[in-house]
Amino acid sequence: MDKLLSQNINAAVIWK
C-alpha cells in the first residue's frame, strides 16, 4: 500500500 500511495503522490508531484 505504501508503494501505491507513493506512486500516486509522485504522479501528483509530477503533474504539478
How far apart CA 10 and CA 4 sit, in angstroms, is 10
pLDDT digits over 1-16, tens only? 799 999 999 999 998 7
pLDDT at 4: 95
How far apart CA 16 and CA 1 sit, in angstroms, is 23
| 3-state SS record for the chain | CHHHHHHHHHHHHHHC
